[in-house]
Amino acid sequence: MDWGILTEVVCMNILTDEKDSIRTGRAWIFNYGRNEVKSFLLSNALFWIDEFHVDGLRVDAVASMIYLDYSRKEGEWVPNEYGGNENLEAIAFLKAMNEMVYHYHPDILTIAEESTAFAGVSHPTYAGGLGFGMKWMMGWMHDTLKYFGQDPLYRKYSHNQITFSMIYNYSENYVLPLSHDEVVYGKGSLLGRMPGEGKDQFANLRLMIGYMFTHPGAKLLFMGGEFGQRSEWNFASQLEWGVLNYESHMGIIEWSKVMNHMYKDEKSLHELCTKPEGFSWVRVDDWTQSVLAYERIGIDPNDKIIVILNMTPVDRPQYRIGTEEFGSWQLIDHSDKEVYWGRGRNVPENVNIEEGVWETKANSMEFSLPGLTVVIYKFKAGKKKAKGMLRPATAHPRATAQQPAEAKAKEIKPSKQIASSVSKKAEAKAPVESKTKLSKPFVRRSLGEGGSKLNEQKAKNAAEKVPVKKVVVAKVAKKKVAVKKNTPLKSTAKKSAGIKSLLSNGVDKKKGSKKK
């Protein structure tokens, strides 16, 4: 619904201020600071949605609303209270309108036809934006029509026009508009703006439609463009439905139908439409051959398609591209099929990714690109080969020869000086009195019950410079003997000979010491 035309007529009788009477183009500039003006416009918006159940509202010429000096010469406009050229009242009104509409109808769209670089048109109002759901991508529209309107021979000199849109693509939520404004006022129809004759002219239009449907952003294709109407739009008459009796125009409408279904069915074309993760250039710099290739990626990184556009009539049957991926590509569709009134040139159904360095990439893939054609493939992931699988898992001969010497060099052996310094530090830290004890919780965790007495003996031996190892053996033996006196141990086959000898030696030593 073109809201600007409706409000232009109805609101003329409530313009009272002098600044309201200035007309820019075909739209009046309203005084958005007056409550009666705002009330009427807001009611107008809700009326079309409540009563006529429209799916959305497009606000025309937003730039003329938000800039006080839009289409005005110096001295014909008054700055705002801060001295700027922004119409603060209009900006506040647009925010209020979007908040109100989305509050009552969260499932509709509001779209701004805004042609300047005003920031945040499609950003939420709480983030400082105007609150629109989407914004027309006017720059993409102008660049695309200008590029495809050129003779293919000269397109290589305008390669930047077809790639520039991705530089600012994620600054807003964009709509790609091929609207009524582009097929009126002597501009001609979309088909009429394409170069070439016969099949080349229709191939150019199919190529441009394929580019639009695979480029990030929502799609807007004005009626008549989907079947290649030859004359521009005339609001006083109907569309040229009679041209559908010709195969050439039926081919355009069949291709448009396929692209609509592909846009809906392939998640990679719409899931991350407004996120940088959803797009990746594959070939952006081949301006000499006018070839463009990019991937559209879904939430699942392996759910993706590759789109390759050959912008010239020259066939390129062996067009190779480097890649780091493993797997293959399966053909979804291409625009040169005979059913679309193409020439039916050969395009492989499956393209395997081959090993071998190409253009600084580890692997490569080879496509067949008919002239003035877009080919679209879907990715099928393959298994990545392990790095060691390409050659035997043996070390290099030089590394093997040097290994013993290197291993010896890496062995860490403390010198006598280091050992003596460590022992001196240990002596300095050793407790002097035998009464030193560790805390009970630590003893129980590390040595078990009864370990406190053992620590006392350790501290005493450290002061007397007695080897700790011998004392530990003696104390353990003493403990075991005490257990044997209180509760005699039953000899079992499971007891090791080492334990028996240890106990017996400890008893003999104890007895011998008593005898002495």
Which residues are marked as active site? 60, 113
Specify the DSSP element, H or E, that contains 379. Answer: strand 373-381
The DSSP secondary structure of 211-267, one letter per residue, reads HHHHSSSEEEE-TTTTTT-SSPP-TTS---GGGGGSHHHHHHHHHHHHHHHHHHH-G
Residue with tokens 């030593």: 509
- CA-to-CA separations, 317 to 42, 320, 348, 370, in angstroms, rounded: 58, 9, 10, 7
| Helix pair 497-515, 468-486: axis angle to 10 deg | 90
Which of 133-148 are b and which e, b meaning 16 or more Cβ less than 10 Å from the residue's Cβ? bbbbbbbbbebbbebb
Residue with tokens 């930047």: 160
- CA-to-CA separations, 4 to 11, 60, 107, 108, 182, in angstroms, rounded: 11, 5, 22, 18, 18
Report which residue type is found at 383. K
Round to whole Å and give the CA distance between 62 and 3: 11
Those residues with Cβ within 8 angstroms of residue 129's Cβ, 6 or more apart along the chain or in another chain: 120, 121, 122, 123
The DSSP secondary structure of 444-509, one letter per residue, reads HHHT-TTHHHHHHHHHHHHHHT--HHHHHHHHHHHHHHHHHHHSPPPP-TTS-HHHHHHHHHHHHH
Handedness of CA 362, 366, 371, 373 (dihedral sign): negative
Burial of 64 (0-12, 13-18, 19+ CB in 10 A): buried
| Helix pair 138-148, 199-214: axis angle to 10 deg | 160
Round to whole Å and give the CA distance between 60 and 25: 12
Round to whole Å and give the CA distance between 60 and 273: 24
Within a 10 A sphere around the Cβ of 465, how many other Cβ atoms? 8
Helix, strand, or coil here: 362? strand
The answer to whether 67 touches 126, Cβ cutoff 8 Å, is no
Q: What is the 3-state secondary structure (H, E, C) of 181-195?
A: HHCCCCCCCCHHHCC
Round to whole Å and give the CA distance between 225 and 178: 8
Through-space distance between the first and last CA atoms of the chain, rounded to whole angstroms = 117
Helix, strand, or coil here: 281? strand
Round to whole Å and give the CA distance between 217 and 135: 10
